[in-house]
Amino acid sequence: MKAVKVGLLGLGTVGTGVVRIVEGHQHDLLSQSGSPIEIAKVLVKDKSKARSIQVPEEALTENAWDVIEDASIDIVVEVMGGIELSKELILAALERGKHVVTANKDLMALHGPEILAKAAEKGCDIFYEASVAGGIPIIRTLIEGFTSDRITKIMGIVNGTTNYIMTKMSQEGAAYEDVLKEAQALGYAEADPTSDVEGFDAARKMTILSTLGFRSSVALSDVTVKGISSVSKEDITYGKKLGYEVKLLGIAESEDDRISISVQPTMVKQSHPLASVNGVFNAVYVYGEAVGETMFYGPGAGELPTATSVVADLVAVVRNLNLGINGRRGFVPYKEKKLKTDEQIESKNFIRLHVADRTGVLAQITQVFAEYEVSLESVLQHPNEQKQEAEIIIITHNANRAAMNKVLGRFNTMDVVLGIKSVYRVEG
């Protein structure tokens, strides 16, 4: 039986996992796909480097075009990362009629529509399950599992680094800076953690999920982003007193065909399943009009979880090859993108104010909310008698973003408000 030949671009953590699974599970892969799978060429930076797996010397190359221009290779698997070179190579592979599997979230978030269109034009498969949430099969679920439903909301923890930090801060009372250093020492966070802790990594993943869930071409610039670097121990403590955990959530909503996407630290009700997702684990909550609420949970990164998703895509491509249906189940956004305005984006809000502790201050604060028709769910006041100051913690009912911005703007002009310590969305 003729083997399907694969060109692998990258032999780092995920690439190594792909080789390990393909070589170790050949019998299972054959039974599932209908053909043997052979990794025929592998792009590496240094052929002489010692590796934890054995790859034949003749299969290694330091020139990516050896893979792309090899006519015997049917499928290109891209796990090397980066954007510009990866884009060039993937488009070139598709142009030559090769099918593509990628784990590159940055590339698909920024250039997904162009790559999907090229695949459709050439009748090729382009699968990218591993680009979001590692081993959780969320992309295939959104494309295939919800075809008969209409998704109204996607909400998830899609970055393991920040979830590890928030879990440690919540469970151990540790400071943000201390936990970040620990995460870097353990390899969970990069030396430059900006992409993770400022929410950019999660924003790229939410761009992909929103495009799939709402069938519209969502751009990274459509996502409102706020990271976790300003989350304090005090915020977490007050949240717990009110029954909430702080999580960095990606939130995408669709109502009347208008959508909003954000990444932000969020107060999640402790009774909500996302509140108990801890450590480096990921979870994605999907609301469908017909099915209701569903949640997908699992490891969001790592050699074998991510490689499992890559190989699952690889099997799907080989199966399509044997059935002669490559390119027929590709996803191309078809709905016009309409973004919500600030007046249409609504949520509950947690607000912590530092105020002067004297008669009438709370009445002045609540009057501002009333002026902009923002109703309050709960109010806590914690006085500091030594300084004649107090902290007021407020949770609002649903309010639109425009009204909340006006409320916060007024607080900034009031003498009795000494500072707006924090503002968080509330979910669950």
pLDDT at 243: 95
Please say if the pLDDT value at position 386 is more than 80. Answer: no
Pinpoint the alpha helices (H) of 96-149: 105-122, 138-140
The CA dihedral of 200, 205, 206, 209, to the nearest 10 degrees, is 170
Q: What are phi and psi of 347, to 5 degrees?
A: -165, 165
Q: What are phi and psi of 20, to 5 degrees?
A: -60, -45
* Secondary element (H or E) of residue 295: strand 292-299
Give the dihedral sign, CA 169/172/173/176. negative
pLDDT at 299: 87
Please say if the pLDDT value at position 334 is more than 90. Answer: no
> Domains plus CATH for the chain?
4-134+303-323 (3.40.50.720), 138-299 (3.30.360.10), 346-427 (3.30.70.260)
pLDDT at 50: 87
pLDDT at 34: 93
Please say if the pLDDT value at position 428 is more than 90. Answer: no
Please say if the pLDDT value at position 385 is more than 90. Answer: no
In the predicted model, what is the mean pLDDT of the chain?
Answer: 94
Crossing angle between the packed helical segments 233-241 and 160-172, to the nearest 10 degrees: 70
Pinpoint the alpha helices (H) of 297-400: 303-323, 361-371
Q: Closest Cα partner for 264 from 218, 174, 200, 345?
A: 200
pLDDT at 134: 85
Summarize pLDDT for 51-72 with one digit per residue, the tens: 889 899 999 999 999 999 999 9
The arithmetic mean of pLDDT across residues 249-256, rounded, is 97
pLDDT at 204: 97
pLDDT at 265: 98
pLDDT at 230: 93
The DSSP result for 221-282, as a single string, is GGEEE--STT--HHHHHHHHHTTEEEEEEEEEEEETTEEEEEEEEEEEETTSGGGG--TTEE
- Kindly give, in sequence order, each residue whose CB lies less than 8 Å from that of residue 323, ignoring residues fewer than 6 positions away: none
pLDDT at 186: 85
Q: Is there a catalytic annotation at residue 340? A: no
Under 8 Å between Cβ of 246 and 235: yes
Please say if the pLDDT value at position 402 is more than 90. Answer: yes
In the block, which residue shows the tokens 């702080």?
246
pLDDT at 387: 80
Rg (CA), the chain: 24
Of all residues in the chain, the percent with pLDDT exceeding 90 is 87
**Which residue is catalytic, options 98, 205, 340, 348?**
205
Two tokens, residue 401: 């973003």
pLDDT at 167: 96
Can you give the length of the chain in residues? 428
Please say if the pLDDT value at position 331 is more than 80. Answer: no
Q: 116 falls in which pLDDT band (50, 70, 90)? A: very high
pLDDT at 388: 85
Summarize pLDDT for 146-176 with one digit per residue, the tens: 989 999 999 999 999 999 999 999 999 999 9
CA distance 389 to 339: 41
Q: Closest Cα partner for 42 from 91, 71, 79, 3?
A: 79
Q: What is the largest CA-CA distance in the chain?
A: 85
The HSE-up count of residue 199 (CA atoms within 13 Å, CB side) is 26
pLDDT at 190: 87
17-52 exposure pattern, b = at least 16 Cβ within 10 A, e = fewer: bbbbbbeebeeebbeebebbbbbbbbbbeeeeeeee
Q: Closest Cα partner for 8 from 64, 83, 72?
A: 64
DSSP 12: S
Please say if the pLDDT value at position 205 is more than 90. Answer: yes
388 three-class SS: coil
pLDDT at 277: 97
Name residue 284's beta-bridge partners: 156, 296
